[in-house]
Structure 1
Amino acid sequence: MIVISNPTAVANEIKLIHSLFEGGMDLFHVRKPSFSETEMKAFVTAIELECRNRLVLHNYHHLTEEFGINRIHFSSTNRPDNFQKTEGFTVSTSTHSIEEFNALSEDIDYAFLSPVFKSISKENYEPNVNWSTEIKKRNNFKTKLIGLGGIDAENINQALQFGFDDVALLGTIWKSNNPIENFKSCQQIVLSF
């Protein structure tokens, strides 16, 4: 299961990230669009060395070498058309329709498709399609399909039943009074699916 960082700083964020890793979080997407390069370096430096191989950088991709990170993410708007990934790197991207997902290059290892449900963290961001029928149009099986948007313990099973290969969590973690409990509840459902 993937967790995406809150776009802005959160109280005790690094401590929470370490707790999520201890709890079994597979990957942590560092999405801090307003961070300067200096802030990004400080943020990554604060994360324990043994966890850095599970970080995914959304920006400042050139920092991967400095920090021993081999995972990068492209938003749907900054994804290069003729991208060729470097050997040993994992590359992900964001998509917003099954057609966009189906058209992805084989160099993309996995892609978020959102929103699956009404977003917890973004105002007025909700699906305008029926995912149970949309996913049937999938013809790209080289890229792993990750559901994102409004996913929590109440609907995670439904997202997996739609046909998503996995899910990513954001709002249910960072907009909660109990982020670790929410993560563990979601994790139990995914593991038993």
Structure 2
Amino acid sequence: MIVISNPTAIANEINTIHALFEHGLELFHVRKPDFSEKEMKAFVAAIGLKYRSKLVLHSQHQLAEDLGINRLHFSEKTRKQIDPETLYHYNEKRIHLSTSIHTIEAFNDLRIFFQYAFLSPVFASISKSNYQSNIDLLEAIQNRTNHQTKLVALGGIEAENIQKTLAAGFDDFALLGTIWNAENPIKNFELCQQIVLSY
């Protein structure tokens, strides 16, 4: 199970991140698009060394080595601009790569460099108003031909639709709005976790 940070600051954010890890969170995506280098360093330092191996950087990739982070995420736009040799270099250095896509056709065309990819939005987004796909992605993934890259569902994922999402063929899912828009983020995380354990 993956959790993505809220793009902007949230009250008690670091405490919530620590609590998520203590409750079994596997990977935490640091998606803070407006962060400067200094802000990114401070945020990662606040999370602490204990969880460093579970952090994924969405931006300020140049800081990864100094911060001891070996997981990088590329947006669809950045992925299309990056040189394949650079991706090969990352793989040689055992840096885990992930990316974002919005169609199953784009997923099928992904190069082998990426460990997993977010396909979104599977359902109407919780964190972004009026953001949903104009096609049924649960149906579209029946056309999946890429089985080397893990397919991760993103967008509107909550306890009520996790089972349906996994049954449709997704390998995993990522949570954003159901965590950061909730009054009790940890309770929502535990609900999702219970569904996975019983699936």
Same fold (TM over 0.5): yes
Q: Equivalent residue for 1:22?
A: 22
Q: Equivalent residue for 1:53?
A: 53
Residues in 1 aligned to 2:177 and 2:31: alpha-carbon distance in whole angstroms: 13
- The one-letter code of the counterpart of 2:137 is W
Q: Deviations over 1:53-85 (max 9, x none)?
A: 000000111111111110000000011252323
SS in 2 for 1:188: helix
Q: Equivalent residue for 1:144?
A: 150
The answer to whether the aligner puts 1:32 opposite 2:32 as a matched pair is yes
CA contact (8 A) 2:122 2:136 kept: no
Q: Equivalent residue for 1:9?
A: 9
Which of 188, 191, 196 is residue 182 of structure 1 equivalent to? 188
Offset, 1:33: 0.5
CA contact (8 A) 1:92 1:109 kept: yes
Superposed, 1:58-77 pairs within 5 Å as 58-77=58-77
- The one-letter code of the counterpart of 1:67 is L
Q: Equivalent residue for 1:159?
A: 165
How much identity, in percent, do the aligned residues show?
61
Q: Equivalent residue for 2:104?
A: 98
Offset, 1:48: 1.9
Q: Equivalent residue for 1:119?
A: 125
Residues in 2 aligned to 1:132 and 1:70: alpha-carbon distance in whole angstroms: 31
Residues in 2 aligned to 1:36 and 1:48: alpha-carbon distance in whole angstroms: 19
Offset, 1:4: 0.1
SS in 1 for 2:78: coil
Offset, 1:132: 3.4
Q: Equivalent residue for 1:172?
A: 178
| RMSD, aligned CA | 0.9
Offset, 1:127: 2.1
- The one-letter code of the counterpart of 2:17 is I
Residues in 1 aligned to 2:48 and 2:37: alpha-carbon distance in whole angstroms: 19
- The one-letter code of the counterpart of 1:180 is I
Residues in 1 aligned to 2:169 and 2:78: alpha-carbon distance in whole angstroms: 27
Q: Deviations over 1:90-109 (max 9, x none)?
A: 10000000001111010000
SS in 2 for 1:121: coil
Give ranges in structure 1 of 5+ residues lacking alignment. Answer: none
Residues in 1 aligned to 2:133 and 2:197: alpha-carbon distance in whole angstroms: 26
Q: By percentage of residues, which structure has more helix?
A: 2
Offset, 1:128: 1.6
The answer to whether the aligner puts 1:191 opposite 2:197 as a matched pair is yes
More displaced stretch, 122-131 vs 2-11 = 122-131
- The one-letter code of the counterpart of 2:29 is H
Distance 1:112 1:31, change over 3 A: same
CA contact (8 A) 1:5 1:31 kept: yes
Residues in 2 aligned to 1:47 and 1:179: alpha-carbon distance in whole angstroms: 17
Residues in 1 aligned to 2:127 and 2:168: alpha-carbon distance in whole angstroms: 22
Residues in 1 aligned to 2:59 and 2:137: alpha-carbon distance in whole angstroms: 29
SS in 2 for 1:155: helix
